[in-house]
Structure 1
């Protein structure tokens, strides 16, 4: 297992690398990341309590190898115990199979545990069978159903 990386919170200098990770891993389509838009969304994300973008960077200070976004959410149910949600998991194809995704998810689980969360949830596109197998190897269980609907901006 390769451990030539470090996990840290992302900063604005990482946005080009994060965009590349999204595009190379299939989270976003190639050529769809606009740096100006990413910067604005990243600034908004950073202002949200409990929101963190984690990156796995090469230990030598080189390229980003993986990323995920973690939300610790205050809840009213479950006695007010918070829950955690992971989104936008991306590992560069050249870094897959080396334990990096496992390390990123373990880091997210540790943060969720320290925040007192009762669960960590994620969703995955139904077509991503390899990702599903990965999450199951990490101990995630299929739970319920995931539903999605496209949201349209209000008509003016």
Structure 2
């Protein structure tokens, strides 16, 4: 599942990448209130769970040895839609210095290609209602706002 596109390599994340991933997750208005880059212990524990699950693919975009983007791709087998497998995209982030370069589009195209290669019939994602720029980005890539999502904090 590795691929290179214009000097960026998309590869499975390694434990050594976790700090860079968390920094990107924390680098926006919403992430700044819910992420704690100074304490990596919960992220490292979660990384081990992700790494052990064959239906999880935590990817980084690596440019010359630096992590410049990330996302998590989850494969969800189900009974609905005639036993279809869905691909769920989460945690899409591009480092601030790379925004506007097309890296986000490359990352999403890579994810859709991976979903197709796994036989998925749907690629889905959620995006916080406050992320209007992200909504426009996903719509430009062909995604449609088709469902209303609900969450219950535990």
Which runs of 4 or more aligned residues in structure 1 lie more than 4 Å from their structure 2 counterparts after TM superposition? none
Shift of 1:80: 1.1
Matching of residue 46 in structure 1 with residue 46 in structure 2? no
CA RMSD in angstroms, aligned pairs only: 1.6
> Does the 8 Å contact 1:27/1:90 carry over to 2?
no
Q: CA 1:135/1:94 → structure 2, altered by over 3 Å: closer, same or farther? A: same
Runs (5+) with no aligned partner, structure 1: 152-156
Q: What is aligned with 1:130?
A: 133
Equivalent of residue 41 in structure 2, options 30, 36, 52:
36
Greater RCO, CA 8 A, separation 6+:
1
Equivalent of residue 149 in structure 2, options 133, 138, 146:
146
Structure possessing the higher radius of gyration over alpha carbons = 1
SS in 2 for 1:29: helix
Q: CA 1:45/1:29 → structure 2, altered by over 3 Å: closer, same or farther? A: same
Matching of residue 9 in structure 1 with residue 4 in structure 2? no
Equivalent of residue 83 in structure 2, options 80, 83, 94:
80
Runs (5+) with no aligned partner, structure 2: none
Q: What is aligned with 1:154?
A: none
The structure with the largest strand share of the pair is 2
- Distance in 1, matches of 2:8 and 2:24, equals 15
